Amino acid sequence: MTLTENRPATASDAARRAMIDSQLRTSGVNEPWVLTAMSRVAREDFVPENAKASAYIDRAVPLGEGRFLAAPVVHGMLLTEARPTAEDKALIVGDAKGYLAALLGPLVGSLDAIDPADAAKRRSKGPYSLIVVDGAIEELPAALGAQLAEGGRIVTGLVLRGVTRLAAGRKAAGDVALLPLAELGIPALPEFAAPKRWSF
């Protein structure tokens, strides 16, 4: 994680300020703690060298191997909806050394990470009070839902009929139901594609 405090202002600092004022605030991301978190972490440190100039654009940045850094508003809305607290034992489905993990880590009591390729089959150190998926899923694997504590929260992108939306849910009586909240361009995670079904 790279914090931006205690160093001279740079062009990236100006881009970060513009991201907050022109992208986050205008999209309704106004929670002071979210804006503070996103002003402290340098997005350019989480993209390839040839993409650093594009780190603050308002769309996903390719990272290679089919992965993307979601647009700033996606991460701002994920954090806002997650409402992390120091009491949370959290799991991020995504890169343990990625941008969202750098944002979320200081806001929770503990943070584990699991690669999307492993989330459908490998248990982590749950149960977790908060799970945040860094991408959009078509289907929530039972193995991942099982790691959420009763009453725990999950925030993710959700692919519905080819359109990605921000979604959130809670675990109640052993079940997790996701509620779509807002249409949002969230990069899809192929590991969470629904099984293909025959249709006539």
pLDDT tens sequence across 8-48? 568 888 999 999 999 999 999 999 999 999 999 999 999 99
Helix (H, G, I), strand (E, B) or coil at 191: helix
Q: What is the 3-state secondary structure (H, E, C) of the chain?
A: CCECCCCCCCHHHHHHHHHHHHHHHHHCCCCHHHHHHHHHECHHHHCCHHHHHHCCCCCCEEEECCEEECCHHHHHHHHHHHCCCCCCEEEEECCCCCHHHHHHHHHCCEEEEECHHHHCCCCCCCCEEEEEEEEEECCCCHHHHCCEEEEEEEEEEEEECCEEEEEEEEEECCEEEEEEEEECCCCECHHHCCCCCCCC
Mean pLDDT, all residues of the chain? 91
Whether the pLDDT of residue 165 is over 70: the answer is yes
What pLDDT sits at residue 60? Answer: 95
The answer to whether 167 and 133 are in contact (CB under 8 A) is no
Q: What is the pLDDT of residues 171-198, one digit of tens each?
A: 999 999 999 999 999 999 988 887 766 5
DSSP H or E segment with residue 116: helix 116-119
CA distance 60 to 64: 12
The pTM score is 0.90
Q: What distance lies between CA 87 and its chain's CA centroid?
A: 19
The answer to whether 161 and 140 are in contact (CB under 8 A) is no
Whether the pLDDT of residue 58 is over 80: the answer is yes
CATH for the stretch 11-192: 3.40.50.150
Whether the pLDDT of residue 126 is over 90: the answer is no
What pLDDT sits at residue 129? Answer: 98
Could you state, in order of their start, the residue ranges of all structural domains in the chain? 11-192
